[in-house]
Structure 1
Amino acid sequence: MEVFSYDRDMRSAGSVRVGVPTWDIAVPMRPSRLAGTTMAGFSDRANSFVDVEVVPHPAIMMVFDLGDRPLVVDDGNGQEQRGCVVAGLAPNRARGQGQAGSFTCLQVRMSPVIAHTVLGAASELSGAVLNLDDLWGGDALRTQERLRAAKSWEDRFAIVEAALARRHGAGHAVDPEVAFCWGRMVNGRGQTRVERLAAEVGWSRKRLWSRFRSQIGITPKRAAQLIRFDHAAHRLAAGHTAAAVAVDSGYADQSHLHRDVMTFTGVTPGAVASAPFLAVDDVAWSARPVTQHSIGVRG
């Protein structure tokens, strides 16, 4: 998963260590052939209890549970999912927990533009958490079985990439206008006005709102808020003050930043600044071609 407790004072190039236990993080040697998709593998060498929060980021998340003991994901509304799990954009306090034992999972992050084609109904999750079986049927079970039989992370990455590519080839793409607007939002760090985007693609604001919501899963306004929050969270973690981050990220003032952070995480900007998921981002989702890192965490 994504968020682990850590001590930033002990960070070093390529790894983060904090006491025990230690997590191994594996990433593919090359970028995915499916643009907008990244993968990472996580395993716990110390057999510790797993307790991780799903912190919102502008991507659809898939988790393939490959451990000896099941990972249970609470969707924040009292419903639990096991095995292969898909979380929509901005899940509401979703949390993953697992018993002490051999924990291993492969996580995929997908742009919602790609997820609409690969997962279909997942584009309408709106922050919900579903079992992949509900979206892929028997294909989910077959993929899971192949992953468990694989002997290496590279084999696992190849299996998932092939499954995603197969579904992508058979799926329905989002409207080019919707894809364009999502890309402009990401490039503009969530600060591009919806009215301006509608004018650029030649749609009315109402039409853009409707098509975007049906294909991405959230409204354009919510998407912009999520993208802006993600940028702000990383700036906070980099050590910048909340006041400076508010200005840099396009918030009206510091209290506006505080409200958005509370909305997405339930904690203050100060707490987000030390959120462990940001430490994992540097290793698990880096664009660098690396094979494996170790990151120390407290379980």
Structure 2
Amino acid sequence: MMAHSPGDTAFLPSLPQLLIDDAVRAALREDLGRAGDITTNATIAEDAKATAILSSREMGTVCGTGFARAAFALIDPALKFEALVRDGEKVSPGEKLARVTGNARAILSAERVALNYMMHLSGIATYTARFVDLVNETKARVCDTRKTIPGMRAFAKYAVKCGGGANHRFGLDDAILIKDNHIAVAGGVTNAIEAARAYAGHLVKIEIEVDGLAQFEEALAAKADVILLDNMGPELLEKAVGINAGRAILEASGGIGFDTIKAVAQTGVDYISTSKITMAAPTLDIGLDIEIA
């Protein structure tokens, strides 16, 4: 079953195929280099056929099957790729994730690129799901940040969604997030919010980061849409939630890990953002084995 959090609709996360194809094509070019797969070409007959199974070596949440499909299709459109699970499904050690049938050279040449994407994205989805599971009895939603590997942001955020998490802004252009340095240069919380509101269109949300209750109350008075409570402990967060009384969306952030996220969620904040789900997630161990008849 697809990983989910409270508030999710029945619609599954998705990515434009064009983005996947462009990324996978570049990765294949990098791997094939100037002469192609000389190991496979030297050891496998040109017309050899094979069936390969992609399987998980450990428990986790799958993500990236579309990238694997694209890797095999771009190497050889005649390869038959059959996904046995959907992105977002939880799997057990040894569970089969996909089957590929066709030209053996093509399968082996696409193997590493397919696995690299699946292992990395499944790792993010699995790590996210661990955080989500810890707060599933609260209203808080776990969300990501802009701390992603360059060139991988859309894919990492897709993996977060597959793990049951929520997405924060995708870049500098889709929401205003006023941070401490903006406040310092702008001359204070109120000045920054008022300047942002005068600049932004009516569809652009304004969020501001605060580090104490004084700044928090000033942000509330200036009618920020979202207030990021940075590096505040549970006691201070709970006070902020009480003062807020539902006026602004509250987001907690700063050094949040598996050992602290539940206490943070229980304070009543709406969102908990952490860069760990995209920057600290270990890969999920996935392998490809040729099926021997």
TM range (shorter): under 0.3
TM-score, with length taken from structure 1: 0.27
Q: If you compute each CA radius of gyration, which structure gives the higher value, 1 or 2? A: 2
